[in-house]
């Protein structure tokens, strides 16, 4: 069964439905798994990148360039969230993410570029966790949302 893709009107998450083994009645859209969570848009944006096709071993250069653009948009959303916060650790983590991102050459993707994007994603995750920690909330766990994305497992986990 092919997954249906839609964008959540509440948090902006691009979700792939249906989870494995679930049939979707015609015209029915699932509820967003990020509804009611703090920083839902940041979590959803992170997970869209985290579970993206660029992280597959057989990813095409187009998929990697698409992820590169997703990172840019996600940095903007994170910067907007941080603009009203006084969190030096989160700002440092964002700067480290941006540094890794700017080290990537999107015109000639190499293994090093993939490693840099993966590092940038890790620092983005730390920023989200910094924001959640400030609110006294538990860290974000992408694997809690894995069933909503077209990903069975996360590639590269042990490759770096």
- DSSP assignment string, 38-53: TTHHHHHHHHHHHTSG
State residue 1's pLDDT score.
43
**All residues at 6 or more sequence positions from 123 whose CB lies less than 8 Å from its CB, including other chains:** 93, 94, 96, 97, 100
Extents of the domains making up the chain: 38-148
- Whole-structure pTM value: 0.79
State residue 52's pLDDT score.
87
Cα→Cα distances 24→10, 31, 40, 101, 148, Å? 21, 12, 24, 38, 13
Residues of the chain with pLDDT under 70: 1-31, 150-160
State residue 18's pLDDT score.
54
């Amino acid at each position: 069964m092919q997954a249906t893709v839609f964008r959540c009107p509440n948090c902006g998450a691009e979700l792939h439905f249906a989870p494995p083994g679930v049939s979707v009645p015609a015209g029915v859209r699932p509820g967003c798994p990020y509804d009611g969570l703090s920083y839902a848009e940041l979590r959803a944006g992170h997970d869209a990148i985290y579970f993206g096709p660029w992280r597959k071993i057989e990813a095409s250069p187009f998929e990697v360039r698409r992820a590169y653009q997703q990172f840019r948009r996600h940095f903007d959303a994170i910067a907007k969230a941080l603009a009203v916060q006084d969190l030096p650790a989160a700002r440092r983590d964002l700067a480290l993410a941006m540094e890794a991102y700017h080290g990537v050459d999107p015109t000639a993707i190499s293994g090093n570029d993939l490693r840099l994007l993966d590092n940038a994603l890790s620092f983005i995750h730390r920023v989200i966790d910094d924001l959640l920690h400030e609110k006294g909330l538990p860290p974000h766990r992408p694997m809690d949302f894995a069933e909503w994305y077209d990903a069975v497992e996360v590639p590269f986990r042990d490759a770096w």
